[in-house]
């Protein structure tokens, strides 16, 4: 899934999951509603808080709020998704929470602590409807956060601020609702934190955003294990789609094939709404309707990503509905593939973040000129209008600084050519949309294509579809 803007400024043992070995983190614990044994460990999250603390200045305090609960319609809510920074630092997946990370230990009623996690209180009546809550004791025992309390407790205590504190508060939340039936919801917690700050306290979020981006753009081995699993599931979904795709399917039937593989393989969610565009819809960049037909002779563009334990894949393949590219489709496809190969080759430590895009762009310019679709480079933007790379991780467009590439980062490389109906070129090309996207690990040597198992060349795609 390409960037939304064209410009890109514990001791562990192993459990087998498919072909991958996954580290055991938090152990499955049904009493607390935990059923997976390959979640990130408390030691991982504690290490991330320590890394953030090291970036804080003297007297610094970082404040992170959970994502708000979001209403879908009337009394129906979207399935909850945690704020990525809060999840990265704690592993908490519940709403109505606050994390404070102090540079130096602060005096609480029970002693000195350099962190505080505020969570929902246990409520047996609500848990009958909504499932198990960790509560303050569970958050401390399961997540390993040193100091915890409930939101209702926060409303009655004074936080250990100092007059000289430098307070960094995460960005304001969108779609924030105040639940009149909950006196300690996210809105109340945000108000309480703000009200307890000493008058004149300087608040900011730009430095905090930069610090968390510096951390999250570098993937640790535990994160890479989860990303590999998410990508493996996604590649299997793309391959299953190639095996089962037939003319006159609907786009929603192709979406069902992909997302069945996601769920049946253990992925909790899609990392973003699946894009399955047939025919002219292959030229709609963020097409999410997925209701149209996929006719004989059409291309189907499948841009999908499984989300596994918070980490998402992002893999795009373009395939012919009838199993065979037409000569014109093949010409466009081969240009995009060559552009992607050039972009991957440029994905090396020390190179500028924009270098993969520049390498891919040069190939597309030459290819479109060679086919007579454009006469001048200035016309190419009409057909290749997005950047080639973005970071990947807890978000599909993950946090990062977009500086020089470094070993340990994961980026996408995803050039595309989209020739919409009524474009100013020969009508023979109209309706051809091709994007090929892979997830690339930057290393100290050659880049590693984490999604290489999904066929990429036209010959490979046709061969698998023939089976």
Name the catalytic one among 46, 229, 435, 456. 435
Catalytic status, residue 357: no
Spatial contact of 18 and 289, defined as CB atoms under 8 Å apart: no
C-alpha torsion sign, points 147, 149, 155, 156: negative
Q: How far apart are CA 274 and CA 285, in angstroms?
A: 12
φ, ψ for residue 247 (rounded to 5)?
A: -60, 150
Catalytic status, residue 287: no
Catalytic status, residue 45: no
Cα separations in angstroms, 252 against 259, 404, 453: 10, 40, 24
Residue reference for tokens 């993969």: 356
Catalytic status, residue 386: yes
Name the catalytic one among 437, 438, 439, 456. 437
Name the catalytic one among 298, 303, 355, 439. 303
C-alpha torsion sign, points 417, 418, 424, 429: positive
**Tokens at residue 68, please?**
């708000």
The neighbour count for residue 213, using CB atoms within 10 Å, is 18
Catalytic status, residue 286: yes
Q: How far apart are CA 111 and CA 170, in angstroms?
A: 26
With 0-12 / 13-18 / 19 or more C-beta atoms within 10 angstroms meaning exposed / middle / buried, residue 155 is middle
Apex 201 CA angle, 146 and 189, nearest 5: 50
Catalytic status, residue 414: yes
Name the catalytic one among 222, 236, 314, 398. 314
Name the catalytic one among 133, 317, 354, 397. 397
Catalytic status, residue 298: no
Catalytic status, residue 428: no
Catalytic status, residue 303: yes
Spatial contact of 450 and 439, defined as CB atoms under 8 Å apart: yes
Which of 336, 310, 315, 314 minimizes the C-alpha distance to 325?
336
Q: How far apart are CA 424 and CA 387, in angstroms?
A: 22
Spatial contact of 340 and 436, defined as CB atoms under 8 Å apart: yes
Residue reference for tokens 């009546």: 125
Spatial contact of 80 and 92, defined as CB atoms under 8 Å apart: no
* SS3 of the chain: helix, strand, coil, percent, to 5: 35, 20, 45
Spatial contact of 388 and 361, defined as CB atoms under 8 Å apart: yes
Name the catalytic one among 188, 298, 398, 414. 414
With H, G, I as helix, E, B as strand and everything else as coil, classify residue 362.
helix
Name the catalytic one among 45, 46, 309, 390. 390
Name the catalytic one among 48, 354, 418, 456. 418
Which of 442, 446, 410 minimizes the C-alpha distance to 314?
410
Q: Which residues are catalytic?
A: 75, 286, 303, 314, 386, 390, 397, 414, 418, 435, 437
């Amino acid at each position: 899934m390409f960037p939304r803007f064209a410009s890109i400024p514990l001791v562990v043992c192993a459990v087998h999951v498919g072909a991958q070995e996954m580290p055991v983190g938090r152990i499955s614990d049904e009493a607390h509603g935990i059923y997976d044994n390959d979640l990130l460990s408390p030691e991982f999250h504690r290490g991330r808080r320590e890394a953030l603390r090291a970036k804080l200045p003297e007297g610094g305090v970082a404040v992170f709020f959970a994502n708000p609960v979001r209403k879908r319609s009337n009394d129906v809510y979207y399935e909850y998704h945690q704020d990525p920074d809060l999840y990265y630092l704690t592993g908490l997946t519940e709403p109505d929470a606050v994390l404070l990370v102090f540079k130096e230990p602060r005096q609480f009623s029970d002693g000195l602590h350099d962190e505080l996690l505020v969570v929902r209180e246990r409520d047996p009546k609500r848990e009958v409807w909504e499932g198990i809550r960790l509560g303050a004791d569970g958050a401390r025992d399961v997540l390993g956060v040193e100091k915890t309390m409930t939101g209702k407790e926060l409303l009655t205590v004074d936080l250990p601020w100092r007059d000289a504190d430098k307070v960094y508060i995460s960005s304001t939340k969108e779609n924030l609702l105040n639940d009149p039936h909950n006196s300690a919801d996210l809105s109340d917690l945000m108000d309480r934190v703000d009200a307890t700050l000493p008058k004149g306290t300087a608040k900011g979020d730009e430095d905090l955003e930069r610090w968390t981006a510096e951390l999250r753009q570098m993937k640790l081995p535990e994160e890479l294990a989860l990303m590999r699993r998410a990508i493996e599931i996604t590649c299997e979904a793309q391959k299953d789609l190639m095996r089962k795709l037939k003319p006159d399917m609907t786009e929603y039937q192709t979406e069902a094939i992909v997302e069945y593989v996601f769920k049946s393989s253990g992925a909790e969610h899609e990392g973003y709404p699946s894009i399955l565009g047939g025919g002219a819809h292959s030229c709609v960049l963020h097409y999410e309707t997925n209701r149209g037909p996929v006719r004989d002779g059409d291309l189907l563009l499948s841009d999908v990503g499984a989300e596994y334990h918070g980490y998402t894949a992002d893999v795009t393949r373009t395939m012919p509905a009838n199993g065979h590219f037409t000569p014109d489709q093949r010409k466009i496809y081969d240009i995009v593939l060559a552009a992607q190969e050039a972009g991957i080759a440029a994905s090396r430590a020390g190179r500028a973040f924009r270098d993969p895009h520049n390498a891919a762009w040069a190939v597309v310019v030459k290819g479109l000129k060679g086919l007579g679709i454009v006469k001048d480079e200035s016309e190419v933007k009409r057909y290749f209008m997005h950047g080639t790379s973005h970071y990947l991780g807890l978000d599909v467009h993950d946090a990062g600084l977009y500086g020089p590439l470094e070993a340990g980062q994961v980026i996408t490389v995803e050039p595309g050519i989209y020739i919409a109906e009524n474009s100013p070129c020969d009508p023979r090309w109209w309706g051809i949309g091709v994007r090929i996207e892979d997830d690339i690990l930057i290393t100290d040597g050659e880049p590693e294509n984490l999604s290489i198992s999904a066929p990429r060349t036209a010959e490979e795609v046709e061969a698998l579809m023939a089976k």
